[in-house]
Amino acid sequence: MASTAEIKSRIKSVEDTRKITNAMYLIASTKLRRARNDLEKTRPYFDELRAEIKRIFRTVSDVDSRYFYPPDREPQVEGPYGCLVITADKGLAGAYNQNVIKEAQKLKEEHGEMQLFVVGEYGRHFYDQHHIPIEHTFLYTAQNPTMDRAREISALLLDKYDRGELKKIYVVYTDMKNSMEAVARSTRLLPFHRAQFISPTPEKAVTSPFEFYPSVTAVLNNIIPSYLSGFIYSTLIDSFCSEQNARMNAMNAANQNAEELLADLGMQYNRIRQANITQEITEISAGAKAQRQERQRRKDVKSL
């Protein structure tokens, strides 16, 4: 049975750990709030870009662009695929990283020949440990998702796509639906399907003529890099928010476990302390009784 000194030492260790997990919870909540604000500040610009692409398709129906499938079909594309995998730089975030890796592995099994572009140290370590080749790693992006980093990723992927080195590009990230639910999902980045830019509700028809210079294809191809950068930036921010939310939940669970453990340890400490006090009282009482008996024995001897 543990001594009171050992239990006190363990209680102190748990309290120190609880301070760390509580601090990590507060840090994650601050980062989550800041990332959401950053995304909200940039979202209107990319919403307008998407609206302009939709406007082009409503104006001209026969747009020919390498970034879009034909309007009537989705042809089978042969060749290497690219996959942007967004993980975190560290753990302690529940199943956040494992879910992304599983989704990426499933995509790799379905498509076979696939080049991996990894964001986050966790993903890089995983693929290195399993001897899976990585085409490119983007360092320090997971903990600091910025528009500049999104443009860097977009430029690299677009360059490989334009040169024909990649026929399709996917992104695997974590979609944070709400504070209670986040889902790892895979989405095709390139080529786009025109249905992605068709509104579910009817919109006002375009009546005024548009003039595209030098051509509608050139205008569309010029918009796509900015739109792709915005899409990647939103996935980075979404993944970052999901990571911080997962870390908050993990640290909150750790805090609750620490509270329960401290309560159990406190009960053990009090029980042992009470047992020690009882034993001491018993020993004192037994000693006092023995002394009384000894004094009585001596009196009886003297009386004889």
SS (H, E, C) the chain: CCCHHHHHHHHHHHHHHHHHHHHHHHHHHHHHHHHHHHHHHHHHHHHHHHHHHHHHHHHCCCCCCCCECCCCCCCCCCCCEEEEEECCCCCCCCCHHHHHHHHHHHHHHHHCCEEEEEECHHHHHHHHHCCCCCCEEECCCCCCCCHHHHHHHHHHHHHHHHCCCCCEEEEEEEEEEECCEEEEEEEEEECECHHHHCCCCCCCCCCCCCCCCCCHHHHHHHHHHHHHHHHHHHHHHHHHHHHHHHHHHHHHHHHHHHHHHHHHHHHHHHHHHHHHHHHHHHHHHHHHHHHHHHHHHHHHHHHC
Cβ proximity of 236 and 145 under 8 Å: yes
Structure-token match 């980045």, residue found? 189
Query: pTM of the entire structure?
Result: 0.75
156 in Cβ contact with 166 (< 8 Å): no
* Residue 26 to residue 304: CA distance in whole angstroms: 82
d(CA 107, CA 157): 18
Please tell me the distance from the alpha carbon of residue 81 to that of residue 168, in angstroms, as a whole number: 5
Contact 91, 178 (CB under 8 A): no
Predicted confidence at residue 118, as pLDDT, reads 92
Angstrom CA distances, 34 to 21, 132, 163, 211, 222, stand at 20, 34, 37, 41, 31
Q: What angle do CA 69, 72, 75 make, to 5 degrees?
A: 50
What is the reported pLDDT for 184? Answer: 85
Identify whether the C-beta of residue 126 lies closer than 8 Å to the C-beta of residue 105: no
Amino acid at 193: H
CB atoms inside a 10 Å sphere around CB 188: 13
**Angle at CA of residue 248, ends 245 and 252, nearest 5°:** 145
pLDDT of the residue at 295:
77
- Which stretches in the chain have pLDDT values below 70? 1-2, 57-58, 61-62, 70-75, 77, 178-180, 194-210, 213, 304
What pLDDT score does 260 carry? 85
Q: Look at residue 84 in the predicted model and tell me its pLDDT.
A: 93
**Residue indicated by tokens 């509580």:** 22
- Do residues 107 and 186 lie in contact, with contact meaning Cβ atoms separated by under 8 Å? yes
**Torsion sign across C-alpha atoms 159, 67, 63, 69:** positive
How would you classify the pairing of strands 168-178 and 181-190?
antiparallel
